[in-house]
Amino acid sequence: MTITMKKSKIGILTGGGDCAGLNPAIKWVVKTALDERLEWERGVQYEVLGIREGWRGLLNVDLISSPDIRGYLEPLSQEMVRTWDRYGGTFLGTSRTNPYDPKNDQSKKVLDNIGKLGLDVVIAIGGEDTLGVAHKLSKDGANVIGIPKTIDKDLPETDYTLGFETSLNVITEEVDRLRTTAGSHKRIFVVETMGRHAGWLALEGGEASGAYIILIPEYDFAIERVGELLLEGRREGSRYDIILVAEGAKPTGGVEFVKESGVDSFGHKALGGIGEFLAREITSHTNLEVRSVTLSHLQRGGAPCAYDRRMGRYFGIAAVDLVERRDFGKMVCYQNGLISAVPLEKVIGRPSLVDIATQYDIERYNGRRTILADEEKAKESAR
């Protein structure tokens, strides 16, 4: 007698800005879903279909006439993904395509293609934009599960988003490199980080690398105060200084620096330029010699650090657990040391930002100098 096992097809895609940690998550979705031992326990046989280029893949794949179906679809096997956790970026490719773009809503086509491809569930690995689309698709009837990734770490309901720690390592390494040249020339270096409207990369990158001044979007800085701090440092004997500034930071009364006009299909402006502006302003206020460096996409590059490999693994495994439970419309998350899951609706539209009251020193423009004593302040700011 042959026993026929239930079959189920999982689609997986990566959307938004790439980063380290995506490939480990894909690998562990595939390995967990295709694990033969678990297959028998679950009584379901999964297939995993990689979808290339994020939502663009699900939108453009033309199942009837197009010769380039293979361009957007890639059936994934355990053998294929065996080494993927060692590599940065995403082997599935990515895009910032928004099927719900108000100027051209193509969500019906995506829903249609999910049906035509026979996908039981789509696992979307992404940040606010990608998971926002996942949430809308889920409201429109599709089975979706989210995995959080963004070097900006600005998603709520999770203490970790894939890519963040690898980026912090890049920032720390680059600052270490700058220190030798800054010291030799007695210069100030302004280092601009990514992060959009959230200061986590600059703040935690600055804390890890020991920056003298850290400027973040959550607190507008006074250029005069930056100058004062630098001169004070010189009086106390410092030969050089490192300033970390988030791309979304701005001076009091100013606006965010924008690189190009226009917005992407999710309505985002491309931020950038605050570092150069700050360098010029510091020279004019202090007469000190300043250089600026924009770390830009270096922060998204390179092999995943150990933490991103581990977290990618745990998130990937947890996503398959949700599939097995048919607990859809959720994002896997990391909260208080535990991997769990939250409804996607709780994740959308409320970015996680630095709490100035407990996590930032507004006098020194730096990380906090008290930690346990902050408990009271945290309670107050939550009230």
In the structure encoding, which two tokens stand for residue 41, read together?
Answer: 């326990």
In the structure encoding, which two tokens stand for residue 137, read together?
Answer: 């698709």
DSSP-based three-state secondary structure for 245: strand
Distance, in Å, from the CA atom of 319 to the CA atom of 324, rounded to the nearest integer, reads 9
Catalytic residue numbers read 152
CA 308 to chain centre: 11
In the structure encoding, which two tokens stand for residue 302, read together?
Answer: 């390179």
Report, in Å, the least distance between residue 224 CB and ligand F6P.
28
Q: Which is nearer to ligand F6P, 170 or 178 (CB)?
A: 170
Q: Which is nearer to ligand F6P, 18 or 74 (CB)?
A: 18
Report, in Å, the least distance between residue 20 CB and ligand F6P.
12
Judge whether 93 and 71 are in contact, CB under 8 Å. Answer: no
Report, in Å, the least distance between residue 188 CB and ligand F6P.
24
Neighbours of 83 (CB within 10 A): 10
Distance, in Å, from the CA atom of 235 to the CA atom of 32, rounded to the nearest integer, reads 59
Q: Which is nearer to ligand F6P, 170 or 282 (CB)?
A: 170
Which residue ranges make up the site for ligand F6P (CB under 6 A)?
17, 127, 150-152, 194-196, 247, 271, 300
Q: Which is nearer to ligand F6P, 102 or 262 (CB)?
A: 262
Report, in Å, the least distance between residue 231 CB and ligand F6P.
31
Judge whether 289 and 295 are in contact, CB under 8 Å. Answer: no
- DSSP string for 349-369: T------HHHHEETTTTEE-S
Q: Which residue has tokens 């020279």?
A: 283
Q: Which residue has tokens 């917005």?
A: 263
Q: Which residue is nearest to ligand F6P (CB)?
A: 194
Report, in Å, the least distance between residue 111 CB and ligand F6P.
26
**Segments of the chain assigned E as strands:** 6-14, 44-51, 73-76, 121-126, 144-148, 188-193, 213-215, 241-246, 290-294, 330-335, 338-343, 360-361, 366-367
Q: Which is nearer to ligand F6P, 275 or 329 (CB)?
A: 275
- DSSP string for 64-131: TT-TTHHHHEEEE-HHHHTTGGG--S-TT------TT-TTS--HHHHHHHHHHTT-SEEEEEESHHHH
Report, in Å, the least distance between residue 19 CB and ligand F6P.
7
In the structure encoding, which two tokens stand for residue 227, read together?
Answer: 């100058």
Q: Which is nearer to ligand F6P, 109 or 269 (CB)?
A: 269
Report, in Å, the least distance between residue 297 CB and ligand F6P.
6
